[in-house]
Amino acid sequence: MLIEELRLKNFGKFIDKSIVLEDGINIIYGDNEAGKSTIHDFIKGMLFGIVKARGRVAKEDLYMRYLPWNNPSLYQGSMQINIENKKYRLIRNFHKDYKEFRIIDLVTGREYRSFSEIDSTLLPMLNETNYKNTISISQKKAGTDKEFVSEVQNYIANLSTSKDSEVNISNALSYLQAKKKQIESNNTRKRINELTLFLKDCENERKKIEEYAKELVRLDQRIKTLMELINDKLQVEDKISSVQIKLSQGNEIDSRRLSLDLLEYEELMQKEKELESHQALLDTNYEKENGVGTEDVVKRMPKWILTYLYMPILATILAMLTNSLHHKGILLSLLIWVGYGSVGVLTKLYLFNRYEKEEVISDHKKIDLENQSKRKEQEYQQQKSLLERKEKILDYYKVQGYEELKTFTLRISQSGTIKDELRKEHQSLKNQLEEIDNKAYLMSQIILGEAKNREVEKEINSNPSLIQLLNYANQCDRLQYERIKWELERLEVRQDEVYESQKVLKQLNLDLQVEMDELKAVDLASETIENLAIQIHDSFGLKLSKTVSDIISKITSNRYTDVRIDEKLNIKVLDGEEYIPIDNLSVGTIEQVYLAMRMEVSTLFFEKEEVPFILDDCFAYYDDKRLEETLRTLYNKRNQIIIFTCHKRESKILDTLEIPYHLISLT
């Protein structure tokens, strides 16, 4: 490729600036700030464009550096090149709002929009990375970057395989590395560990559930036992209180008096029965004597009177049933009713006379009834007195009814006195109460010790009664019961997640096995590619190292004759008996070695087409002898050489060597 002409339409400080370049060595001379770097950046911009930078790199933004203040839309230029004896003009507008790039074939007039449309063996290898690492060299930037190392590795790999640009080692390794990160980002192992811990916790919780269930049964039984103890204690205390009351009442009563009272009670019962029988007889006689009424009068009426009473009704019914009689029937009925009305009057007179006679008879019995009533009143008072005496006997001995009195009398006759029996009962109840108290106190202390409740302890320290103590213990157990019940319900909800988690864990283990296999495959592929890259380099690296050694030997006048370049383009130089890293050499020597490597690599990349070398003030650290050897070597490469410089050394040396060159002065 040959750059024939540059036209800076409106770029940086240049407006409508035209620069014609020739084959061989071109020296673009100018003082500082004359625009040498601007032209250098213009060439790169015409080939690859200029993108407006953002972020931290904005300080070095070439787009803004060369954007014209006047007419920014005319931020453009053109460049004429010759590729494989075909002339093309590149036209580009750099403005971000009016971006445009065209390639015009100056022979056919055909227009293209990208280099990929042009049939060329050079252009596929001409990218920005290769350009800045081979063709273009800036001051103090003769070295290569990591991205270029990948380009060299890829190219060497392609040369060793299919001789095309299909193989891309760096892309393959990047893909494998990304694949590895993707697999590892699934965090499958982490999720398995988390689920395993979760299921382990759930298993522990399941055991807790069983323990809690047993604890609930135990607490429930203990609560029931506490309630029974409280009830038993209260009942026994009530019985003791009742016995104490009996013991405190009066003097002792012997069994003889109790027997007499029992006998008296039986006699009172007998008299009560006799009075009840006599009372029933009086009631019967009284009813007989005082029982004359309307029914008796009706029974005593003559039958002919009753017949006359029913006849009018029958006659009326017969008259109404006769169809031939109408008014006559009604009249007949009225006559019959009048006739029988007189019979009714006669009946009333009969009844009145009869009643007068019976009233006379009743007066004779009135005195007898009054006497009977008085006797009933006397017997009632007598019965009342008997009942009061019976109640008094029962109340005295604190018993209910005859049977209990009889049983009590039998027991007293056997024990001697009432109070002896009461004392025995009292002692038995006290023993029973003491047993209950001991059991209750022991149980309450166990419960309160388990509870460790400060408020309860405070109450205990205030000397509560045993009942209070039992109530506190019962409260503690109930609180513990509710707490465990709540915890049990919570754990049971968690247990519902176990089955689903086990399914997920099983699937994750399967996924992990697949991922492990994939990771092994990725690692194996990466290792294989890297080994292949080393093997490929070994086959081409020797040639590269030998060619660079020849170039550096000429440039350094045989001071350094042996150079070694590894697969990452790290350079070592033989110095005496030892290969030393290039960084240990002087800056001038380092620049020379990198220049030699760039020249050889460019030959490797663009073997079928010569490419220009663009050097921007690269010889600042070269002495005259090194510069002379370097210029001679560059001339012998027969490439187009474009040298930007602010010195006249290059021109003088070329004149001395009688090497032709084309001079462009910017000042």
Rounded-to-10 torsion of CA 415, 421, 427, 429: 120
- Per residue in 382-417, pLDDT (tens digit) is 777 878 888 888 888 778 888 888 887 777 766 556
For the record, the structure tokens of 265 come out as: 């009670």
For the record, the structure tokens of 95 come out as: 């403005």
Rounded average pLDDT over 271-287 = 72
Give how far the C-alpha of residue 655 lies from the chain's centroid of Cα atoms, to the nearest Å.
83
Q: In this predicted structure, what is the pLDDT of residue 30?
A: 92
Cβ pair 512, 188 in contact under 8 A: yes
For the record, the structure tokens of 113 come out as: 């929009």
Q: In this predicted structure, what is the pLDDT of residue 335?
A: 39
Three-state DSSP class for residue 78: strand
Cβ pair 14, 38 in contact under 8 A: yes
Q: Residue 108: pLDDT band by 50, 70, 90 thresholds?
A: very high
Show the beta-strand stretches assigned E in 94-166: 100-105, 111-112, 136-138
Higher pLDDT, 137 or 607: 137
- Per residue in 61-82, pLDDT (tens digit) is 889 999 998 888 899 999 999 9
Higher pLDDT, 170 or 508: 508
Rounded average pLDDT over 198-211 = 78
- Per residue in 534-553, pLDDT (tens digit) is 665 565 667 778 878 887 88
- Per residue in 342-357, pLDDT (tens digit) is 444 444 444 445 545 4
Q: In this predicted structure, what is the pLDDT of residue 107?
A: 92
Higher pLDDT, 105 or 582: 105
Residue written as tokens 């019961």?
481
- Per residue in 578-588, pLDDT (tens digit) is 888 877 877 77
Cβ pair 179, 522 in contact under 8 A: yes
Question: Which range is least confidently modeled, 50-64, 205-219, 464-478?
Answer: 464-478
| Mean model confidence pLDDT for the chain | 75
* Dist. CA 236–CA 241, nearest whole Å: 9
How are beta strands 86-93 and 613-616 bridged, if at all? unpaired
Q: Which domains does the chain have, with CATH numbers?
A: 2-144+569-665 (3.40.50.300), 253-415 (no CATH)
Higher pLDDT, 93 or 528: 93
Residue 280, pLDDT > 50, answer yes
What is the gyration radius of the CA atoms in the chain, in angstroms?
68
Cβ pair 573, 580 in contact under 8 A: yes
For the record, the structure tokens of 559 come out as: 């001071």
Question: Which range is least confidently modeled, 141-150, 434-443, 637-646?
Answer: 141-150
* Dist. CA 438–CA 299, nearest whole Å: 85
